[in-house]
Amino acid sequence: MKTAAKAVTVRKAEGIPPRERIIAVAADLFYRHGIRAIGVEAIAEAAGTNKMTLYRHFASKDELVAEYLRCLAEKANASWEKLAAQHPRDPRAQLRAWLEEMADHLESGDERGCPLANAAVELPDKDHPARRVIEAFKNAQRNRITQLCAAAYLAQPELLADELFLLLEGARVTAQSMGRAGLGERLIRMGEAMIAAHQK
């Protein structure tokens, strides 16, 4: 694991506390190499600290993984809040903006794809603390889309939310297996067609 660790720039002091530095380095390593491929020794080395310090902040690697994913979920939730602020009291515009944002991520994102989806594949154990973070985030995202569909007075909002959610998940897999060219544009076009089909 030391080889993987050396690929990461050590994030030393300059105002970054050890806990945040460990999370940042772990996020980079987990995303680029996979959660199961990286051990705590590699993370501690890359973060410029030691295992004792790491375990002082996280009781186990599982807890560190869960916190890494929790931070990602918080960033995604912040994006929803930003869309709401940009389009106040306009759920239809928020849906459109969300599609555009997801399209941008698909076409400009890293080849490894969605880190939460990747983690779900690597962590099939339902009792894993990180798995619970993933499921809570995915459910919250689906509920947010459902609420916007209902607020926009679209027919069968739960069904439409499922359709949009599955469209995005499928697009993410397609990006990794078949390439990204034009994928964002197709996502927007298909998403808008689904929304139009649910107009009352």
Q: What is the pLDDT of residues 106-163, one digit of tens each?
A: 887 666 778 998 899 999 999 999 999 999 999 999 999 999 999 999 999 999 999 9
Same domain assignment for residues 117 and 180: yes
Across the range 64-87, mean pLDDT stands at 96
Same domain assignment for residues 114 and 164: yes
What gap in Å lies between CA 30 and CA 33, rounded to an integer?
Answer: 5
Question: Quick one: tokens of 186?
Answer: 């197709």
Across the range 54-63, mean pLDDT stands at 97
Domain that holds residue 42: 2-58
Residue 68 C-beta-side C-alpha neighbours within 13 Å = 27
Q: What is the pLDDT of residues 179-191, one digit of tens each?
A: 888 899 999 999 9
What gap in Å lies between CA 111 and CA 119, rounded to an integer?
Answer: 15
DSSP annotation of 142 = H
Number of folded domains in the chain?
2
pLDDT confidence bin for 75, thresholds 50/70/90 = very high
Residue ending a domain, choose from 58, 78, 104: 58
Across the range 64-81, mean pLDDT stands at 95
Across the range 64-80, mean pLDDT stands at 95
**pLDDT at 23 > cutoff 50:** yes
Q: What is the CATH number of the domain that holds 123?
A: 1.10.357.10
Same domain assignment for residues 70 and 54: no
Q: What is the CATH number of the domain that holds 45?
A: 1.10.10.60
Query: How many distinct helices (H) and strands (E) make up the chain?
Result: 10, 0
Same domain assignment for residues 124 and 71: yes
Whole-prediction pTM: 0.84
User: What's the one-letter identity of residue 72?
Assistant: L
* pLDDT recorded at residue 111: 62
Average pLDDT, the chain: 90
Same domain assignment for residues 44 and 135: no
**pLDDT at 8 > cutoff 70:** no
Same domain assignment for residues 44 and 110: no
